[in-house]
Amino acid sequence: MKIKSFFLLLFCATVLSSCKYYNFTGTGKIDADTFQVNYFQNTAAFVEPGIERTFTLALQDLIQNQTNLNLTNSGADLTYEGEIVDFRISPMTATADQRAAQNRLYISVNVRFINKKTPEDDFEKRFSHFVDFPGNEQLVGAKLTTALEEIYERITKDVFNASLAKW
């Protein structure tokens, strides 16, 4: 009985200490304490007010919620910066009378990731995603907000995976 208790205690100690090197977000051990997300400017030809602020906050929130890193305004171990380079609404399919049956909102964000402690992890990449919607609907108000949330959720996860999960 004492041997079983010893092995159970040893197993629990091993599992609990291994959480230092792996967590359920798949990031593994992050050799950093702080991160910063600089304001992402909107340099797209078509400007939708406020989307740059929304993206910046979405990326900050995801990293804060998925890691134990502390958000800071300057001098961070990990820095995210870049710009929204494309924001467009394009017709995808047409009806017989030459009207759009389906439209697509497409957003592309150029991201620069800088890791002060591991410079070989630095990168500059473009991430994008889209949402399709009926051609007879205007993408304004709550519909635009919902579309942006879906796109930003995908893009921020892709940025997170590329920078911290190394996927």
The answer to whether residue 134 is domain-embedded is yes
- Is the pLDDT score of 63 beyond 80? yes
Confidence at 9, pLDDT banded by 50, 70, 90? low
The answer to whether residue 6 is domain-embedded is no
The answer to whether residue 93 is domain-embedded is yes
Which amino acid is residue 127, in one-letter code?
A: F
Q: Please check whether residue 36 is in contact with residue 73, taking contact to mean a CB–CB distance below 8 angstroms.
A: yes
Give per-residue burial for 77-115: e unless 16+ CB within 10 Å, then b: bbbbbbbbbebeeeeeeeeeeeebebbebbbbbbbebbb
The answer to whether residue 53 is domain-embedded is yes
The answer to whether residue 12 is domain-embedded is no
Over the stretch 24-49, which tens digit does the pLDDT of each residue have?
Answer: 444 556 789 999 999 999 999 998 99
Pure H helices in the chain:
2-18, 51-66, 141-160
What region does 82 belong to: left with phi over 0, alpha with psi -120 to 50, or beta? left
Over the stretch 88-139, which tens digit does the pLDDT of each residue have?
Answer: 999 887 766 767 788 999 999 999 999 999 999 999 999 999 999 988 888 8
* Number of domains the chain contains: 1
Which amino acid is residue 160, in one-letter code?
A: F
Which tokens in the block code for residue 61? Answer: 């929130």
Distance CA(25)–CA(19), nearest Å, equals: 11
The answer to whether residue 36 is domain-embedded is yes
Distance CA(155)–CA(59), nearest Å, equals: 9
Give the CATH number for residue 54.
Answer: 3.30.160.150
- pTM for the model stands at 0.80
The answer to whether residue 7 is domain-embedded is no
What domain range includes position 60?
A: 25-165
